[in-house]
Amino acid sequence: MSLVDERPAASRPGVLPTPGAGSGARLRLLGGFELTVDGEAWDLPPAAARLVAFLALQARPLVRSHVAGVLWGDRTEERAGACLRSAIWRANTGHGGRGAAVIRASRSRLALAAISVDALEAADAAHTQLVGGSPVAPDVLSGELLPGWYDDWVVVERERLRQVCLEGMEQMAQTLLEAGLWHRAIEAALYVVAAEPLRESAHRVLIDAHVGAGNRGEALRQFRVCRALLERELGLPPGPDLVAAAARAGGLSSGRR
């Protein structure tokens, strides 16, 4: 079933064209919520913003009752349905009462219109890195999804995106390392280490990149930082890959100097 706007034809807004074809519609979820249409920010009330953000992170249209249950599960079924209808109308009215089909709705299903979403772009960029794609700027993979939002679905999606971006960033650092682009590899690995200080594999890439750049002292310092963190936080010694990286930095046989 195609998704159509649920309001009467007389009040139905125009459909947004596909982004990239001149629509200028963009949804920012990394670092905070912001919806812009033709360069103008839309001031959405919280319920409408939550609905737009929720739909933006879904891979396919969703059943209306499911959306109402997730976002207004503490209400009666009738009241949750009313809240959903109100949020759809407010999202599609937008700033100043000017309409656009931000949410497309049928009697049974809902989906976000064709709007570019930065969180989805970050996830796509991370997956591209995992299959050997061209490196991107590290900040493309480093944003936090909807900081300050604590809904259960946001927490789950935030961690999912964080993990795929960390994996993608670390693979990108490894790709840069293998290409001999030491300083870019160091930059990317530092992003991962800052986000996940106990991630040994990222420390290993960082150490090897410092060695490649000719900074053996910095490589050994990084090893000692990681070893201290592991011992203090987990009571564990560094793993064999990390010890081997330290050996490459200074000829250590055990990584214990």
pLDDT tens-digit readout, 54-71: 999 998 999 999 999 999
CATH no., domain 9-114: 1.10.10.10
- Say whether pLDDT at 9 is over 60: no
**Three-state secondary structure of the chain:** CCCCCCCCHHHCCCCCCCCCCCCCCEEECECCCEEEECCEEECCCHHHHHHHHHHHCCCCCEEHHHHHHHHCCCCCHHHHHHHHHHHHHHHHHCHHHCCCCCEEECCCEEEECCCEEHHHHHHHHHHHHHCCCCCCCHHHHCCCECCCCCCHHHHHHHHHHHHHHHHHHHHHHHHHHHCCCHHHHHHHHHHHHHHCCCCHHHHHHHHHHHHHCCCHHHHHHHHHHHHHHHHHHCCCCCCHHHHHHHHHHHCCCCCCC
Residue 111 exposure: Cα atoms within 13 Å on the Cβ side: 12
Local structure of residue 145 (DSSP, 8 states)? B
Give the residue carrying structure tokens 């960082």. Answer: 206
Of residues 14 and 95, the one with the higher pLDDT is 95
Q: Where are the domains of the chain?
A: 9-114
Residue type, 71: L
Weakest-pLDDT range from 86-95, 118-127, 207-216: 86-95
Task: Read off the pLDDT band of 252 (50, 70, 90).
Answer: low
Beta-bridge partners for 135: none
pLDDT tens-digit readout, 218-248: 999 999 999 999 999 999 999 999 999 999 9
pLDDT tens-digit readout, 134-176: 999 999 999 999 999 999 999 999 999 999 999 999 999 999 9
